[in-house]
């Protein structure tokens, strides 16, 4: 609604608000007619709170203007708009405060505890704590600069005038939050980005990727074990990450480095092939064999049947946890995470190459005793049994160790040899029995050559032959 002014021309007084028409404008003053040819003068410094160099920059002849009588005497009426404009601007400030709008002001000067920011011609105070989100920011760099602020408090001061407190920090924080939110929205779940490690903590590393900072938890750094993150990553390292989680409520992003790295079994399958001879460390013993660590987090099984060709040798008497051992890869299946190893296949099967044949007489070495029988060895790992009842044909033997000693070389006859089943049995007694049989056959041939000579020897020979049969 347009404001109407009714004047009692005879009773003009200081402080009265009038409305008039600009009838003259110079650089430094404005002449206003406000009724019955009554004129008032308003100098440039009373015209506006805004920074203008000339009155002509603010008003022109014919403009309507509202002012307050500042001084009146018989010769002159002095007018001012400053208080009216200040009240209008103050209402504007309060409106900005109520609606939490940002507003532009000019930094006038530095004072104790902060800066003075002039807004709509009104001095507003900005505390040091409200200047910037960076506590080390140089406040003096803002002097004479136009900045965006928000009114955060309006409090009554001296002479019942409002003290207006403003903040640049909340504007910057809001802009940063908006920028952060836009960057957060640009991060896609399951996407892969290149990033940089910006901080290392005990619980993981912070990585900036695609312009957004996310967390790589400790467990998502590597497949391989480590005691300290700095063994794997340091600030400034470039890494590829996959987005594994987003929290819209907190605008948090979870990254993973491990997901993009080949798994230990994949690495092992690329570097280990069937038939390879490798070294590993015994990490665990079981009833059926030993687990050998051959690659980080990759263990293979050395089955007890794959340790030796010697059927009398116990693998667990020689293999201990922590021991380094050379093995041959029999097979590898990275999908099932299975690795089979062998020691005995590092060499040819001596049971197939030793050339031993059944019924032949050879020299063997006594290497031990088992339940009264003697354990004999032909060549390395080709080991068999000499039963106690095959030690002698002259008397009954209850323990082979009563007749033989470890390390002794003896002549034996092979009575049973099966290379596929790793079975060997020999006899000393058979050698003597064979010799006696050969002597008898020789004797009989000599006797048969004597014709028609029935002697007592013949009769005894027949008896002996029946006995042997």
What per-residue confidence (pLDDT) applies to 141? 94
Same domain, 163 and 109: yes
Domain boundary among 50, 80, 110: 80
**Tens digit of pLDDT for each residue in 145-178?**
999 999 999 876 544 466 899 999 999 999 999 9
Q: Provide the pLDDT confidence category of residue 2 given band limits of 50, 70 and 90.
A: very low
What per-residue confidence (pLDDT) applies to 139? 92
What per-residue confidence (pLDDT) applies to 453? 53
pLDDT: which is higher, 335 or 192: 192
Spatial CA neighbour of 279 closest among 264, 269, 293:
293
The Cβ of residue 361 has, within 10 Å, a number of other Cβ atoms equal to 14
What per-residue confidence (pLDDT) applies to 450? 60
Same domain, 254 and 268: no
Same domain, 238 and 291: no
What per-residue confidence (pLDDT) applies to 1? 41
Instruction: Kindly tell me if the per-residue pLDDT of 201 is higher than 90.
Output: yes
pLDDT: which is higher, 444 or 26: 26
Q: How far apart are CA 30 and CA 81, in angstroms?
A: 11
Same domain, 283 and 332: yes
What per-residue confidence (pLDDT) applies to 395? 81
Same domain, 63 and 111: no
Same domain, 161 and 94: yes
What per-residue confidence (pLDDT) applies to 457? 54
pLDDT: which is higher, 448 or 71: 71
> Percent of the chain beyond pLDDT 90?
61
Instruction: Kindly tell me if the per-residue pLDDT of 279 is higher than 90.
Output: yes
**Tens digit of pLDDT for each residue in 296-317?**
899 999 999 999 999 888 999 9
Per DSSP, the chain holds a count of helices (H) and strands (E) of: 6, 25
Stretch among 28-37, 127-136, 179-188, 379-388 having the lowest mean pLDDT: 28-37
**DSSP calls for 59-119:** --TT-EEEEEEEEE-SS-EEEE-HHHHHHHHHHHHHHHHHHT-EEEEEEEEEETTEEEEEE
**Tens digit of pLDDT for each residue in 31-63?**
998 876 678 899 999 988 888 889 999 999 999
Q: How far apart are CA 265 and CA 335, in angstroms?
A: 8
- 298-303 and 338-342 as β-strands: parallel, antiparallel, unpaired? parallel
Q: What distance, in Å, lies between the first and last C-alpha atoms of the chain?
A: 149
Domain boundary among 210, 237, 260: 260
Predicted TM-score (pTM) of the model is 0.57
What per-residue confidence (pLDDT) applies to 157? 54
Phi, psi torsion values for 189, nearest 5 degrees: -60, 135
**Is 333 part of any domain?**
yes
Phi, psi torsion values for 7, nearest 5 degrees: -110, 145
CA distances from 206 to 64, 191, 241, 255 (A): 63, 17, 11, 9
**Is 467 part of any domain?**
no
Q: How far apart are CA 337 and CA 335, in angstroms?
A: 5
Sign of CA dihedral 430, 432, 437, 441: positive
Same domain, 329 and 288: yes
Locate 143 and state its tokens.
């002097």
Same domain, 136 and 150: yes
Spatial CA neighbour of 341 closest among 268, 271, 275, 267:
275
* Rounded (10°) angle between helices 429-448 and 456-468: 140
Domain residues for the domain of 270 are 264-346
**Tens digit of pLDDT for each residue in 379-431?**
999 999 999 999 887 788 889 998 899 999 999 999 999 998 889 999 998 88
Q: Rounded mean pLDDT of 65-89?
A: 85
Q: Provide the pLDDT confidence category of residue 183 given band limits of 50, 70 and 90.
A: very high
Instruction: Kindly tell me if the per-residue pLDDT of 452 is higher than 50.
Output: no
Cross-strand partners of 77? 72
Same domain, 100 and 150: yes
Q: Residue 313's domain is classified under what CATH number? A: 2.40.50.140
Domains in the chain: how many in total? Answer: 4
Q: Where are the alpha helices (DSSP H) in 100-191?
A: 169-186
Asked if residue 55 lies in contact with residue 86, where contact means CB atoms within 8 angstroms, the answer is no
Domain boundary among 80, 95, 122: 80
Instruction: Kindly tell me if the per-residue pLDDT of 455 is higher than 60.
Output: no
**Tens digit of pLDDT for each residue in 227-260?**
899 999 999 999 999 999 999 999 999 999 999 9
Instruction: Kindly tell me if the per-residue pLDDT of 284 is higher than 90.
Output: yes
The Cβ of residue 358 has, within 10 Å, a number of other Cβ atoms equal to 12
Same domain, 90 and 147: yes
Q: What is the mean pLDDT of the chain?
A: 88
């Amino acid at each position: 609604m347009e404001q109407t002014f009714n004047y009692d021309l005879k009773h003009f007084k200081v402080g009265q608000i009038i409305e008039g028409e600009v009838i003259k404008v110079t650089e430094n003053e404005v002449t206003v007619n406000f009724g019955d040819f009554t004129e008032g003068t308003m100098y440039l410094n009373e015209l506006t709170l805004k920074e203008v160099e000339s009155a002509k920059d603010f008003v022109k002849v014919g403009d309507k203007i509202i002012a307050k009588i500042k001084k009146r005497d018989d010769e002159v009426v002095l007018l001012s708009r400053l208080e009216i404009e200040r009240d209008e601007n103050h209402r504007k400030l309060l409106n900005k405060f109520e609606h939490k709008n940002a507003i532009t002001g000019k930094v006038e000067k530095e004072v104790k505890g902060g800066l003075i920011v002039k807004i709509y011609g009104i001095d507003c105070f900005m505390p040091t704590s409200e200047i910037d989100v960076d506590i080390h920011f140089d406040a003096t760099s803002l002097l004479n600069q136009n900045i965006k602020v928000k009114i955060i408090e309006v409090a009554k001061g001296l002479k019942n005038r409002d003290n207006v407190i403003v903040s640049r920090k909340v504007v910057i924080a809001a802009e940063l939050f908006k920028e952060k939110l836009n960057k957060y929205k640009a991060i896609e779940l399951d996407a892969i980005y290149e990033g940089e490690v910006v901080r290392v903590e005990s619980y993981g590393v912070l990585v900036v990727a695609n312009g957004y900072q996310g967390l790589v938890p400790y467990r998502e750094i590597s497949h391989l074990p480590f005691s300290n993150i700095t063994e794997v990553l340091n600030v400034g390292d470039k890494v590829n990450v996959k987005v594994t989680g987003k929290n819209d409520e907190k605008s948090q992003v979870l990254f993973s480095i491990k997901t993009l790295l080949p798994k230990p079994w994949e690495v092992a399958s690329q570097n280990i092939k069937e038939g390879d001879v490798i070294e590993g460390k015994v990490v665990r013993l079981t009833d059926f064999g030993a687990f050998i660590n051959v690659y980080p987090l990759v263990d293979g099984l050395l089955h007890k049947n794959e340790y030796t060709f010697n059927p009398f040798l116990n693998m667990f008497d020689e293999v201990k946890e922590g021991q380094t051992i050379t093995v041959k890869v029999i097979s590898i299946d990275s999908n099932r995470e299975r690795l089979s190893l062998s020691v005995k296949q590092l060499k040819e099967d001596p049971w197939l190459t030793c050339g031993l044949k059944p019924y032949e007489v050879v020299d063997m070495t006594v290497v031990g005793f088992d339940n009264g029988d003697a354990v004999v060895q032909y060549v390395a790992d080709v080991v068999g049994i000499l039963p106690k009842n095959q030690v002698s044909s002259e008397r009954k033997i209850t323990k082979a160790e009563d007749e033989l000693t470890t390390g002794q070389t003896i002549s034996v006859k092979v009575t049973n040899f099966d290379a596929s089943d790793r079975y060997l049995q020999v006899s000393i007694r058979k050698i003597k029995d064979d010799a006696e049989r050969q002597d008898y056959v020789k004797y009989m041939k000599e006797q048969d050559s004597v014709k028609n000579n029935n002697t007592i020897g013949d009769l005894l020979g027949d008896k002996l032959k029946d006995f042997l049969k």
